[in-house]
Amino acid sequence: MGCGLRRDDGDGIYLAVTNENDEGKIAGMIYLVGTLGFVSGFILGQFILFRILRDVPKEELLENKSLHWKFGLLNWLIALLTAASAVWLYHQHFSY
């Protein structure tokens, strides 16, 4: 159940209110934040790989398959860590 605070008719008393609809909104926001975190992490990973691999010749990138696994997994790892960080930050700062 979601829980929030609401002012009761101007008498200065704050009441805890439960709203069943808040659960769906919070779950939807978590998916949105996770997706945005993943996409931004993937873009960040591509930028980092571009900076790391800019001096590596194109032929070596195409022939050396160990580079594919090493740097390919690095990009996915950055994307997943960024998505997890975005969801964690959302829970810490914006959820009830």
- Residue 17 placed within a domain: no
Can you count the helices (H) and strands (E) in the chain?
3, 2
Total tally of structural domains belonging to the chain: 1
Comparison of pLDDT for 36 and 9, the residue scoring more: 36
- Residue 64 placed within a domain: yes
Q: Is the dihedral of CA 77, 78, 83, 85 positive or negative?
A: positive
- Residue 54 placed within a domain: yes
pLDDT of residue 61: 86
- Residue 62 placed within a domain: yes
- Residue 85 placed within a domain: yes
- Residue 6 placed within a domain: no
Containing structural domain, residue 78: 24-93
Residue with tokens 């998505």: 83
- Residue 3 placed within a domain: no
pTM: 0.67
- Residue 70 placed within a domain: yes
Predicted confidence (pLDDT) at residue 94 exceeds the cutoff of 70: yes
